Structure formats: structure tokens, C-alpha cells
Amino acid sequence: MSGRVRAAVVGGGIIGVAVARELTRSLDNVDVTVFEKEIGLGGHQTGHNSGVVHAGLYYEPGSLKARLCRRGVDLLRQFAAEKNLGYEECGKVVVAHNARELDRLKAIHARAIANGVPNVRMVGADELTMIEPHARGLAALHSPRTAIVDYRAITNALAQDVRAASGNILLGLAVTGVEDHGREVRIRSSRGTEAFDVVITCAGLQSDRLAHAAGDPADPRIVPFFGDYFLLRPEKRSLVKGLIYPVPDPKYPFLGVHLTKRIDGAILVGPNAFLAGGREAYRRAQFSPVDLRAVLGFPGFWRFAAGNLPAAAREARTMMNTRAFVKEAQKYVPDILPRDVTRGPRGIRAQAMTSDGSLVDDFVITGTSRVLHVRNAPSPGATSSMAIAEHIVAEAMGRARLS
């Protein structure tokens, strides 16, 4: 391909903007355009998460997730330092309460070592209270280099680099179609139809719909799950110094309530996980009839629900009862009382699910030689965003034979 390369990115979350920046860094002859339907960047999953920079404790050694997470942490830390953005290595403890959890924790420790997580180690109950004075447990895995950031601030700084490289970021402009015509790709939006040489969609909560409309298979589909947080009252923030997590239980599809320090000093308690009333239903009692019909008409959701009734019951209790929510947190920090918390933010997880009811837990990238769709970018997606961008842009350049 000769001349200027016309590249478009659909989606202004952290991964989309990181991809746009990587395009400007990888190609000397590229004109990059980002389409974002909201009036600001990072308005969905990027701006509604807890801000944790995951160190890579849990992932299968050698897997794409593990490699992109570790690479992503290094890139993110360097970028935050360059841009003078907050990046705090507050540390994380994963707390076990019984022998079964301790066995699982030891397996996580082995994975963390294999993944090259720095300074990670097992600690006993006494040392746990030295790290987190109000936490209680049989033992814990301590990851002192686990960090926190403001991912929306990171996204806006990435966008500054895109604009500095003459990239164009279009806000408030929803993409309604992507058509691959072989020699070019046409994007339809409210300002008309435009042609590009390569298109990368990073549409998060709408990723399956956009990909399917462009000719991709319907599966995996996005099923939205909300996660509600409470906030510790300011006078109670001293109960938590960093991040206090449970040991993942393979019986449950989601992690459960934990405690997270935020970069602004606030302490999040949560989240729970329950079917959301819509893909963008951030307000309680908000719902979308279109989104609900799509979920309730999807056989995969019912298969998933049938296999996770105990988890659904647990999450329903935390959704309806503040005391039940706080009781989950008290397993790790007993001194937290219901009166110590106030209602906090809500996030929506874009959970990819197959027709057999399985949750997709790895990155999914599909498409053609000129169109790449990021169909799934689960946690640690934000942590890995700059490494994911390297991976996606290299893939796009290879497919479209760009140089």
C-alpha cells in the first residue's frame, strides 16, 4: 500500500484511544480518526471501574492475558510518570480464611511467580495485620507492587498524544455501520459515510452488535452485569490501607465483594454482580427494553443462570440489603459496620457469553484483513490497554499489509 494510510478507531475508551495512539507511533504515513458516540472519552467501562492496575497474579503463565498484563503494567507506569499522572503502588493482599482457600492461594502464588510479578509472597496472619492492621485471615498473598490510577485521566492523556500526532478525535458521533468493501472500509455515522483503509472497533458494551452488523458471527454476545459499590465514610478510610481481596472461588462466576483504595483516597467496598437493566444503565432503576429483550431472548443467558443459582442468590441479597453487602466485606475487615458506608458508584461489565452459557474470559479479536473487532477485553483490560494496543496494531498491520 502506498500513500497515506487512512485508519479509523471506533470507541473512545482506554483501549480505543490507546490503539489510536499506537497507530500514530507505528506508522509514519497514517491519518487516524477516532469515533466516539459520547461527548467525552472514557465514559463507560473506563470511567466506571475501580482504578486497579492488576499485577498479573491470576493468569495462566504464558497466556496472552498474562503477557499483555505484565507488559501493560510496565507501559502504564512509565506513561503515568511521563505525564505526571497519579500512580500509587498501594499494594494488595488476597486473603484466605480456611484450608481450601489456602490451597487455591498457593496455586495463585505459583502463577504469580511464573508470571514475573515482582516481590509477591505469602504471609501469615500476624504479618497480614502488619500490612493491613484491620484485616483478618488465616494467610494472605501480598503483592506490594499492585497499584491504582485514574483510568479516565490516563485515557485523556493518551488522547493528547493522538491529537499531537495530528489524529482526529470525533466526539458525540455514533457509528451506525461498518462495511468492508475489499479495497476500503466504509464507516457510516451521523455525518455521512467515510472511507478508510483499515478500521479497528473497540466498542466495549456495544462490541458484539457493531461486529455482527459488519458481518461477524453473533456470538460471543455481550450480557451486561452491573456492579454496585459502597464508599467508606471519610472518617473510616483508615480501616483500609490498600487493596483487600478474597481468594477467587471457582464455584462463582464473579469475584465478590472486596475493598479497594482509589487514587483520590476514597475506599470502595464492592462490587456485587447482577444482571443490569441495560448496557448503559448506570443509574439504579434505569433500564433499556431493547437490551433486556436481547438478554432474555438469548439461550446462553438462561443456561448460565441455571448453572449459577447459588451465586445469583448471594448477589441478590447484597443488591437488596446493605447489611448483607457489608457482611461480605466484614469477612476481611470485621470493624466495618453498616453505618460506616454510603452508596457509591455503579459500573457495568461487558461480559461476553457464548450460546452454551459459558463466560468468555480471554481477549477475543475477530474480523477481516481490513477490519478488526475487539469483541472481548475483560479484566485486566484497562491495565493491559497499551500492550493490547501494541498487539492489535501489529495484527492489523500484518493483515492489511501496512508498513
Note the pLDDT tens digit of each residue in 350-386: 999 999 999 998 889 999 999 999 999 888 999 999 9
Q: Indicate the SS3 state at residue 239.
A: helix
Residue 269 covered by a domain: yes
Count Cβ atoms below 10 Å from residue 1 Cβ, excluding itself: 11
The three three-digit cell numbers of residue 388, written as one number: 493490547
Domain extent, residue 317, equals 221-353
The three three-digit cell numbers of residue 75, written as one number: 507501559
pLDDT at 2: 54
Q: 294 vs 209, 280, 307, 373, CA distance in Å?
A: 11, 14, 20, 21
Cis geometry, peptide bond prior to residue 118 (ω within 30 degrees of 0)? no
- For 71-77, what is the mean pLDDT? 98
Are 210 and 178 in contact, with CB atoms under 8 Å apart? yes
Note the pLDDT tens digit of each residue in 171-195: 999 999 999 998 899 999 988 999 9
Maximum pairwise Cα distance, the chain: 65
Torsion of CA 13, 372, 219, 186, to 10 degrees: 90
**What are residue 148's phi and psi, to 5 degrees?**
-135, 150
Are 291 and 277 in contact, with CB atoms under 8 Å apart? yes
Residue 101 covered by a domain: no
> What is the rounded CA–CA span in Å between residue 270 and residue 315?
11
Q: Check which CATH number belongs to the domain holding 172 and give it.
A: 3.50.50.60
pLDDT at 403: 63
pLDDT at 363: 86
The three three-digit cell numbers of residue 34, written as one number: 477516532
**Eight-state DSSP code of residue 61:** T
Q: Are 267 and 240 contained in the same domain?
A: yes
Q: Are 274 and 166 contained in the same domain?
A: no
Q: Are 323 and 250 contained in the same domain?
A: yes
The three three-digit cell numbers of residue 135, written as one number: 484485616
Residue 252 covered by a domain: yes
Note the pLDDT tens digit of each residue in 217-231: 999 999 999 999 999
Q: Are 197 and 291 contained in the same domain?
A: no
Q: Check which CATH number belongs to the domain holding 309 and give it.
A: 3.30.9
Note the pLDDT tens digit of each residue in 262-306: 999 999 999 999 999 999 999 988 999 999 999 999 999 999 999
Q: Is the pTM higher than 0.75?
A: yes
Residue 259 covered by a domain: yes
Q: Quick one: which of 1, 42, 5 has its CA closest to 23?
A: 5
Residue 143 covered by a domain: no
Are 351 and 224 in contact, with CB atoms under 8 Å apart? yes
Are 160 and 195 in contact, with CB atoms under 8 Å apart? no
Residue 134 covered by a domain: no
Please report which confidence band the pLDDT of residue 252 belongs to, taking 50, 70 and 90 as the band edges.
Answer: confident
Q: Are 337 and 189 contained in the same domain?
A: no
Residue 9 covered by a domain: yes
> What is the rounded CA–CA span in Å between residue 96 and residue 105?
7
Residue carrying the nine cell digits 498501594? 90
Q: Are 196 and 300 contained in the same domain?
A: no
Which one-letter amino acid corresponds to residue 297? G
Domain finish residue from 316, 332, 353: 353
- For 118-130, what is the mean pLDDT? 98
Residue carrying the nine cell digits 447489611? 323
Q: Are 209 and 282 contained in the same domain?
A: no
Q: Find all residues with CB under 8 Å of 25, minimum gap 6, and list them.
A: 165
pLDDT at 151: 98
Q: How many domains does the chain have?
A: 2
- pLDDT, the chain, mean: 95
Q: Are 166 and 37 contained in the same domain?
A: yes
Are 13 and 204 in contact, with CB atoms under 8 Å apart? yes
Q: Is 167 left (phi over 0), alpha (psi -120 to 50) or beta?
A: beta
Residue 228 covered by a domain: yes
Q: Are 241 and 292 contained in the same domain?
A: yes
Q: Are 201 and 211 contained in the same domain?
A: yes
Q: Are 181 and 244 contained in the same domain?
A: no
Q: Are 257 and 187 contained in the same domain?
A: no
The three three-digit cell numbers of residue 356, written as one number: 452454551
Count Cβ atoms below 10 Å from residue 328 Cβ, excluding itself: 19
Which one-letter amino acid corresponds to residue 182? G
